A and B are shown apart, each in its own frame.
Chain A
């Protein structure tokens, strides 16, 4: 089942902060975050694994609440280059189902000067 992202869109001025949320109705093994600019392929930002391991981008952080099956992406001191659509992808453990990454509908982030 597709994870739900909120908000659907965010408009910021440079230097402002933003939080994007991702929630699932199923128990999660991992949460991935990607950013996609118009006309381009998605680019990896962050992965959070069950058990607390986290790997990703220098200026972006994220949290993973396993009990609530939720993740949040924190963008601080936003830059113009942060503009794009942010997607979370979730996977469950077990068998080959760990390969089944299901993406949310995306959050459009626009940063103005």
Chain B
């Protein structure tokens, strides 16, 4: 199993550009999520999905879009990049248990710089 994979590992964007961060998992997990982590900060939830076709907003959704057309993939789209979106982005997946989520497996992260 590859687990959770993210591409690209590094990316530099200019202000106003758009791009998609890719996330895929091969564990048949129903739950997937995107977090951003800024220096010295904790993880902040951007968007999450509890199954194919179902997504919801997290704490900091503005400027980001997601969709979940398959169980395996959960791409994150930056609509118009801003310097404030410079961060490390982590994707995670988990299976559900008792109406909650269980152990989250994190991808290796994408380091994004917006100039």
> Interface on A for B, CB 8 Å cutoff?
2, 29-30, 32, 34, 40-44, 47, 49, 53, 55, 87, 89, 91, 93, 96, 98-106
Partner of B56, one of A30, A41, A96: A96
* Whole-angstrom CA separation of A7 from B33 in the bound complex: 27
The main secondary structure of chain B at its interface with chain A is: strand
Contact status B42-A44, CB under 8 Å: no
Q: Is the CB of B104 within 8 A of A44?
A: yes
> Distance in Å from the Cβ of A5 to the closest Cβ of chain B?
8
> Bound complex: CA of A2 vs CA of B58, how far in Å?
12
| 15 A-B pairs with C-beta separation under 8 A | A30-B101, A41-B90, A41-B108, A41-B109, A42-B90, A53-B98, A55-B102, A91-B101, A93-B100, A98-B50, A100-B58, A101-B45, A102-B59, A103-B35, A103-B44
**A to B contact number (C-beta, < 8 Å):** 73
CA distance A30 to B97 in the complex (A): 11
Interface size on B, residues (CB 8 A): 30
B99 and A93 contact, CB distance less than 8 A? yes
Q: Known A41-B107, A44-B103; judge A99-B48 contact (CB<8 A).
A: yes
By a CB distance below 8 angstroms, the chain A residues around B33 are: 99, 101
**Smallest Cβ distance from B57 to chain A, in angstroms?**
9
B56 touches A99 (CB 8 A): yes
How far, in Å, is B18 (CB) from chain A's closest CB? 25
B31: Cβ under 8 A from any A Cβ: yes
Interface pair B100/A91, CB less than 8 Å apart: yes
A79 → chain B, closest Cβ, in Å?
A: 22
Q: Are B42 and A104 in contact (CB under 8 A)?
A: yes
